[in-house]
Homo-oligomer: A and B are copies of this chain.
Amino acid sequence: MKIFTNIKDIKKEVRQIRKKKLTIGFVPTMGALHQGHLTLMKQAKEKNDLVIISIFVNPLQFGPNEDFQSYPRNLKNDTRLARNAGVDIIFAPPVKEMYHNARTFIDMPNLTDKLCGKSRPGHFRGVMTVVTKLFNIIQPNIAYFGQKDFQQALIIKKMAQDLDMNLEVKILSTIRETGGLAMSSRNKYLNITQRLHANKIYHSLLKAQELIISGDKNYNKIIRRIRSTIKTIPKSRIDYIKIINPETLEDMKWAENKKILVAIAVYVGKTRLIDNIIV
């Protein structure tokens, strides 16, 4: 496994790979790898000749009062995990390598200012910008994202279409702890009691799914029900609970008979957790 930290070197490597007509599967990460990331990597390995991952805690997607400084970083452990998952190349650049005097950004009104974008202004702009840079550097055939970050995955998929990028964006199912909690690097912030309580997020999503499948169209009632479950988590604060159209992120109209997204964001202590389910 090779590790690159500068853009010029990995671009050279990618040119060599391209010359040999090998396909590249790409998994962009912020490190602190967990089973969710590793599942994306294994899938990438199965479907492509080579797997490249990036490990980069992207300052552009953190707000001024968010956890950029404290975000978990452990390159040594990540390297070990990636090697075991069959990754061929890690790209782990320092911040100044990625943003040397850069001014360009990418955005997508409507989709970036809803849900997580509402509580985290500029977040998705930062995500879109760094992902475009990474796509241009790595030139993957397929890029993999997890469904846990549903809005992110949707925005990146739409961005790739809108800008005619030459790659496929694949969104894979959320991987969960035994108790149901969606895997996330931020779970490291939780203590044992918080972790146990945080399982209620997924349980309330399952309950919502059950109600929707059984034909309940009173979404406000369903949301109230989720809310009352989440509120039993000590020191929690609900950011949003939404039942929406998974393509537009707009509220559902009753007449619609399509897929339905139930999405939750909640602070448990100081830790912001998100999860969702598609019915």
Question: A-side interface residues toward B, CB under 8 Å?
Answer: 7, 11, 102-111, 128-129, 132-133, 136-137, 139, 158-159, 161-166
| Residues from chain B with Cβ under 8 Å of A108 in the complex | 103-105
Pairwise interchain contact A159-B11, C-beta atoms closer than 8 A: no
| Residues from chain B with Cβ under 8 Å of A107 in the complex | 104-105, 107
Instruction: Give 5 A-B contacts (CB < 8 Å), ordered by A residue.
Output: A104-B158, A105-B106, A105-B107, A105-B109, A106-B106
**Looking across the interface, which residue of chain B has its beta carbon closest to that of A137?**
B164
**Distance to closest chain B CB from A60 (angstroms):** 12
Pairwise interchain contact A103-B158, C-beta atoms closer than 8 A: yes
Chain copies in the assembled complex? 2
Give the CA-CA distance A110 to B104 in the complex, in Å. Answer: 10
- Overall SS of chain A's interface: mixed
Report the 9 A-B pairs with minimum CB-CB distance, sorted nearest first.
Answer: A104-B162, A102-B162, A136-B164, A104-B108, A103-B108, A104-B159, A133-B164, A137-B164, A106-B106
Pairwise interchain contact B106-A110, C-beta atoms closer than 8 A: no
Pairwise interchain contact A111-B106, C-beta atoms closer than 8 A: no
**Distance to closest chain B CB from A164 (angstroms):** 4
| Residues from chain B with Cβ under 8 Å of A103 in the complex | 108-111, 158, 162
Pairwise interchain contact B166-A136, C-beta atoms closer than 8 A: yes
Pairwise interchain contact B132-A163, C-beta atoms closer than 8 A: yes
**Looking across the interface, which residue of chain B has its beta carbon closest to that of A99?**
B162
Pairwise interchain contact A136-B163, C-beta atoms closer than 8 A: yes
| Residues from chain B with Cβ under 8 Å of A158 in the complex | 103-104
**Distance to closest chain B CB from A92 (angstroms):** 16
Q: From A111, A162, A165, name the one whose CB has the most chain B CB atoms within 10 angstroms.
A: A162
**Looking across the interface, which residue of chain B has its beta carbon closest to that of A109?**
B103
Give the CA-CA distance A164 to B138 in the complex, in Å. Answer: 10
| Residues from chain B with Cβ under 8 Å of A110 in the complex | 103
Q: From A103, A107, A128, name the one whose CB has the most chain B CB atoms within 10 angstroms.
A: A103
| Residues from chain B with Cβ under 8 Å of A128 in the complex | 104
| Residues from chain B with Cβ under 8 Å of A163 in the complex | 104, 129, 132-133, 136
| Residues from chain B with Cβ under 8 Å of A111 in the complex | 103
Pairwise interchain contact B162-A139, C-beta atoms closer than 8 A: no
Pairwise interchain contact B162-A136, C-beta atoms closer than 8 A: no
**Looking across the interface, which residue of chain B has its beta carbon closest to that of A128?**
B104
Give the CA-CA distance A162 to B102 in the complex, in Å. Answer: 5
**Distance to closest chain B CB from A253 (angstroms):** 19
**Looking across the interface, which residue of chain B has its beta carbon closest to that of A18?**
B18
